[in-house]
Each structure stands twice: as structure tokens, then as C-alpha cells.
């Protein structure tokens, strides 16, 4: 089924999924980072204090999603969306109206939790569960909302802050959010029910009763594979200045690199969506990290701006491949009924890993380890992740073949 056909037959659910994922951009790092200087000045915070607060609310968000995320399995999507919109609204109001830093921090945490966490979780889970025949392609389409947000929102926010205060910009974003979501919640008639009301499962899925992924060796065998791209990207992006300095690259290298990463993400997402539908999620999971290894190897071999830009394109491509591949893999192994719980666990682990990555990179750099050596260690880490997941993925492929 081509992308045009998917849009034709599943337009309603794709609109909801895309809207939810795009709304999640309000809590993503690339957007909230624009407000850091203004927020720090308003509440008399140093850069270090803001960084500690940011890390704290991010890690707390990762912990809470373990408990809140699975509600999407029990609640109808409309009810879940209503509470997420309310949570985002409350967060923006607390951040912008509170005169106290502690209360504003709670609001900031709600923005991160509802944006980066729950909105994206709602959009991808709802679409993945509702569309079974072309799931990979459908996930590829809705997750294009993230690079679209990266392309549109920073410029819009930067323009807004030249004319208005940072609080006013947040209010404009809130008004736009409510203008879109209130009609969607009140008038849209194609909201899917809770998954627990469904008793039919696609033939290629094996429904499992109350999975406990953190207690299953299979999940841990797959975990490093699923977390490799976020770990690599977070560490490199945070310490990009150290990398450009060591490789004697121009300061503009990463500015160009992020454009290449966005292009790679678009290509990777659309390409992976079709491949997941054609060859299956397990086979795709064996392959999708190879561009990341290629990008890291290019950076190590060239040690210049060209190597960094090749890495950025490859990193963007793998990031685009991640959601269609990993979410489809979780459903292929454990079924769709508990997808909310499974994705919550994965997202929580991802958030914690991206919190640990900067600390690890910083300690290595402070110890005198070169960035070239760190990149080589990352290649080894990704390779170990692929090797650990290889046999379990092979078993999944064999089970899928025998079920046909």
C-alpha cells in the first residue's frame, strides 16, 4: 500500500496522530531551549541551576511515563488526549503566570512531560494500533510532524520573541494549541476506542497477557539496539563544540549538519516505513542502525567538517527510521493490546539513557579521552547492540514465517 493510498483510506486517524505528534514539539528540547535565557533571567537562575532543573524534570518525566503512558491502553484516545491537552495548558499557565520559581518549575515539567512524552506517545500508539496492514508507513507519516516542527517552530518562536515577551509567545502557542484541539475533541467523530475493548488481533501479532518488559530477558537483549541512536545523538549534539574544536571544523559545521539531519530524517522515515511493511519489523531492526555505524566511521576516518556532516545526515536518517521500526517491532513481538505499556517502557528507558549520555561524555572528555576515541567506543556500543539483538530478532522472523 503506497503513501497516497494510506492517506486516502486512513485519513482521519492519521490527522489525529499527526496533530498529536506535532503538538508534542512544544515540549521538545529544540523549542524549549529558545526560552532558556529569558526564563533564567526572569527567575534569577544561573545556567547551571537551569541545567539542573531541566535534567531533573526530564528524568522525572521519564519515570512518570512508566505509570501514565499505559493509560492509553485502558482509556479511549479522546479521553487521554483531553487530559494531555489540559496538562499542557496548566503547564504553560504555571510557567508564565507564577511569580515563584518552584511553581514555574512544575509548569515547565508539565510542558516537558505532556509534550515530549504524552503527546508523541498518544499519536504514535493510536496510529500503530489502528492501522495494521501498512503500520510502518503510517508511523512514518505521522512522525514527519517532528522534523516539520523542527523546521517551522524555532523560526516562528525567534520571530515572535523579537516583538513580544517570552510569556506572550507561550500564550500565543497555547492559543494555537487550543484553537486546534478543542474542535478536534468536540467535533471529531472518528476517535478510536480503548484497546482493551478489542478482542481481535491481526494474524501477524501475538497478544500477550500483561507483559512485564523490564522483567523479560528478551526486552533487555533488544534494549541497547533501541537506545543506541538516542545515546549517540544526545552525546554528540551536547558536546558539538568539543567535536568541532578537535576536528578543526568551522563553527558553522553543525548548523549545516542539522539541516542535513532533517533531510536524512525525512528520507529515513519514509524509506523505513515502506521497508517495515515489505520485509517486516524484525528484519528491518537488524539493518536500521547500519547508517549510524557508517556515519560514525566516516567521522572517525575523515576527522573534519565533511566527516561530521556525513555523520549528521546518517544520524538523522536513523532517527527517522527509529519510530516505524521499533514500535512495529514491539507490536510484532508482544501484540497491540498493551502497546501503550510497551512504548511507555521504551520511552522511559530512552529518556533515562539520554540523561546519562551527557554525563558519560563529559566524564570521558574531562579524563582526557579524545572525541575520536569516544566515537570509536560508540561504534563498538552500536555493534554490541546489534549482536545482542540478532538472535532474538531471528526468532521473531522465524515465528512470523511459521504464522503465515
CA dihedral 173, 179, 180, 182 (to 10 degrees): 120
- Dihedral sign of CA atoms 6, 11, 14, 18 in order: positive
Q: Tens digit of pLDDT for each residue in 24-49?
A: 999 887 788 778 788 888 988 887 78
Range with lowest mean pLDDT among 1-15, 25-39, 188-202, 294-308: 188-202
- 1 — pLDDT class (breaks 50, 70, 90): low
Q: Tens digit of pLDDT for each residue in 93-136?
A: 999 999 888 899 999 999 989 998 899 999 999 998 888 778 88
Q: What is the pTM of this model?
A: 0.82
DSSP assignment, residue 33? G
Give residue 209's pLDDT: 60
The three cell numbers of residue 175 are: 492559543
Give residue 132's pLDDT: 77
Give residue 199's pLDDT: 47
Average pLDDT over residues 256-282: 90
Owner of C-alpha cell 494531555: 84
Closest CA to 120 of 27, 182, 55, 229: 27
Closest CA to 281 of 389, 196, 363: 389
Contact 23, 173 (CB under 8 A): no
d(CA 104, CA 95): 4
Question: Domains plus CATH for the chain?
Answer: 3-197 (1.20.1250.20), 213-403 (1.20.1250.20)
- 208 — pLDDT class (breaks 50, 70, 90): very low
Give residue 255's pLDDT: 82
d(CA 277, CA 284): 10
For the chain, how big is the Rg over CA atoms in Å?
A: 21
d(CA 230, CA 353): 8
CA 177 to chain centre: 20
The yes-or-no verdict on residue 294 having pLDDT over 90 is yes
Residue-wise DSSP of 151-203? HHHHHHHHHHHHHS-HHHHHHHHHHHHHHHHHHHHHH-------GGG-----T
User: Mean pLDDT for the chain?
Assistant: 88
Average pLDDT over residues 278-303: 95
Amino acid at each position: 500500500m503506497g503513501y497516497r493510498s494510506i492517506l486516502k483510506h486512513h485519513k482521519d486517524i492519521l490527522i489525529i496522530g499527526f496533530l498529536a505528534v506535532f503538538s508534542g514539539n512544544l515540549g521538545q528540547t529544540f523549542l524549549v531551549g529558545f526560552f532558556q535565557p529569558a526564563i533564567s533571567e526572569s527567575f534569577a537562575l544561573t545556567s547551571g541551576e537551569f541545567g539542573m532543573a531541566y535534567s531533573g524534570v526530564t528524568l522525572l518525566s521519564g519515570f512518570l511515563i512508566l505509570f501514565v503512558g499505559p493509560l492509553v491502553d485502558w482509556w479511549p484516545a479522546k479521553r487521554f488526549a483531553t487530559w494531555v491537552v489540559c496538562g499542557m495548558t496548566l503547564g504553560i499557565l504555571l510557567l508564565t503566570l507564577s511569580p515563584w520559581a518552584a511553581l514555574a518549575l512544575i509548569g515547565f515539567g508539565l510542558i516537558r512531560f505532556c509534550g515530549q512524552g504524552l503527546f508523541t506517545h498518544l499519536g504514535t500508539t493510536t496510529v500503530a494500533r489502528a492501522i495494521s496492514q501498512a503500520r510502518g508507513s503510517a508511523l512514518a507519516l505521522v512522525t514527519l510532524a517532528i522534523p516539520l516542527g523542527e523546521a517551522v517552530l524555532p523560526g516562528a518562536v525567534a520571530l515572535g520573541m523579537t516583538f513580544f515577551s517570552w510569556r506572550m509567545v507561550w500564550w500565543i502557542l497555547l492559543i494555537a494549541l487550543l484553537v486546534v484541539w478543542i474542535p478536534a475533541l468536540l467535533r471529531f467523530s472518528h476517535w478510536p476506542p480503548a484497546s482493551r475493548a478489542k478482542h481481535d488481533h491481526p494474524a501477524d501479532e501475538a497478544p500477550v497477557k500483561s507483559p512485564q518488559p523490564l522483567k523479560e530477558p528478551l526486552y533487555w537483549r533488544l534494549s541497547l539496539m533501541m537506545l543506541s541512536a538516542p545515546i549517540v545523538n544526545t552525546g554528540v549534539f551536547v558536546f558539538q563544540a568539543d567535536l568541532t574544536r578537535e576536528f578543526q571544523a568551522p563553527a558553522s559545521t553543525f548548523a549545516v549538519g542539522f539541516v542535513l539531519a532533517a533531510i536524512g530524517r525525512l528520507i529515513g522515515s519514509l524509506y523505513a516505513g515502506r521497508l517495515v511493511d515489505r520485509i517486516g519489523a524484525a528484519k528491518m531492526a537488524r539493518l536500521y542502525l547500519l547508517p549510524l555505524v557508517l556515519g560514525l566511521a566516516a567521522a572517525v576516518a575523515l576527522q573534519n567538517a565533511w566527516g561530521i556532516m556525513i555523520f549528521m545526515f546518517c544520524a538523522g536518517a536513523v532517527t527517522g527510521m527509529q519510530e516505524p521500526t521499533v514500535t512495529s517491532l514491539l507490536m510484532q513481538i508482544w501484540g497491540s493490546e498493551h502497546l501503550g505499556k510497551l512504548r511507555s517502557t521504551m520511552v522511559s528507558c530512552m529518556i533515562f539513557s539520554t540523561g546519562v549520555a551527557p554525563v558519560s561524555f563529559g566524564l570521558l572528555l574531562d579524563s582526557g579521552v579524545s572525541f575520536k576515541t569516544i566515537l570509536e567506543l560508540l561504534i563498538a556500543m552500536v555493534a554490541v547492540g546489534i549482536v545482542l539483538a540478532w538472535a532474538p530478532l531471528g526468532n521473531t522472523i522465524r515465528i512470523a514465517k511459521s504464522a503465515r
